[in-house]
Structure 1
Amino acid sequence: EYNVLNGKEIRFDFNDKKRVRARCKHCVEYSVYVSKVSNCETYRLNTLHDKHACGRVFHKTCAKSSWVAKLFINKMKATTSDMALKDIVGEIQVNYSTGISMSRAWRAKQIAGFLQVFEEFPVPIEHRFCLRHLYNNFKKKFGGGVQLRDLMMGAAKATYEELWKSKMQQIRDLNEAAYWWLYNLDRKAWCKHKFSSHTKCDLLMNNLSEAFNSTILVARDKPIITMFEWIRMYLMNRFSNLRDKCKNYTGQIMPKLLKRLDWEVEKSGNWVACWGGDGDFEVSHLHSGEKFIVDINQNYCSCNF
């Protein structure tokens, strides 16, 4: 917002917990450097050259769609009519002397609509990132590579905080900027160890929504009543087919769950349980040294698996 209001574009050359350096994108005269004073929580302004040699920039990359969305969300709540894209572009140009494209205005409008819907929910809703899309953005910024990808996936799938910290430290050893990019994200949106236990779903991918969207693709261009009727009939047929399959299945546990359970039982030979009283156990790994607390009565394990 500072960049937009002042008509400049400031970039951060270096930014971590101890120091921050900012420069102007279009001239070398403007420079700010701030560092942390040792042994306290005070920051010192070491360098300040606040004069710009460049003129005002009209089209700014810092005027992102998320920032534009926050400006217009209250206006969208107050009006019942749909805001035109040209109106959004015009207001940004008049009020902030900044130009944005129609595509950026369209993205801002979509984001503002989502924010408005989320705020109208009567109960708190847990929002998560799709790990696949998150990795695609991560890859664009820091490049690919099997090692960095596996560490990021491992950090997201870690079910307890100590394992997450271990994976993140390995990422930091490889790429400091990648570490801080992930660290600044809301962990509740992409890290399994921070997911709420209230929602009985720990999926990291958006596969359920993608599969549903691809299924109703043939009905999405139909009138609203016709589309709902198509979805209703599809669900009825699907439930009927699944019910018939369940009748013919003789086992007590579903096949995929049984396969995973067998795999866990096979690996259980590496663990030793020590009874602590009532239904409490301390479970230790023979080789890695990992230890967890298990409460049989509460169906709880400190690994959060």
Structure 2
Amino acid sequence: MQAVQDYALKNGKAIKFTRSGEKNVEARCSAKCPWRIYGSLTQMNEAFVIKIYDSEHKCSRPARNKQASSKWLARHYMETFRKKPDWNVLEMKRDIDKKFAISVTKNVCYRARARALKALSGLLADHYKMLSSYVVELKKDLQNAVRAFMPNAECARHLYANWKKKHVGYALKNLFWKAAKSITEAQFNEHMYEMKVLSQVVHDDFIKIGLDKFCRFKISTLPKCEVIDNNMSECFNGYILRARNRLLIDMLEDIRRTIMKRMAEKREMIMKSDDTICPKIREKVEENKVVSGFCIATHAGYKKFEVKHMDNNYVAELQQNS
């Protein structure tokens, strides 16, 4: 029956089923033309055989076609809705008119869309079943990437796992994490003093690890980009907006490809530049060069200057880059 429906809609014929049973099917052209097809199962139910087929049509293309049911449309556009779950009814209606030159109501399109999305929601469970395997594959690739590009990167948990082999005990464990998580240098020094009171060797071994690798107070809060964190999140959220409407694995793959493509484009762009400074930063430097023409600098000693701009005075310390 599906084959007859596909034929009717793709060829623009108003075909109807005059007989539709478990073992036989008959369809005729509803415009009183000689086209007819009849088929039935063999006696052993091994195959479906076409026994009568009159292929001649003497009818014109109808404006409406009953075979364009919501069920058929849902099946035909299933892949489209899988890729674009937010595909709206008006676009669907225009596409039907363009492809099949027939008119369908909005209600039929709404029902077809609902059917397709309901069927696809069943696939969502399958996507979650595949998620663990997908994460394992990504983790393997990510570990290789981190090892290649950041060979000296460390994690406090792994550092502690090695450190506790020599220094066992709840008190030392507690001090290790307090020191590692200290936000300010004063807090850090306080915890380090407690550690030193317990054991000078423990204190020295902690310092030898390298505070820059894992201590929070050593992490620079100086922003490396003029975009604040919240706007960066909003920007990324808008960037992946279309992908978020897709099924889980499809969404993750779409985001991965989108970011990969963007990184490749930016890499190619920067490789074409002969400058040692990024293009946008270069623009800011050039702008500041113009502004610096209105500044008067007075040397105040070792790499220190007092800078006068209009009615404002500033202190510039070259040693501190401030």
Q: TM-score under structure 2 normalisation?
A: 0.34
Structure possessing the higher radius of gyration over alpha carbons: 2
Which has a greater percent of helix?
A: 2
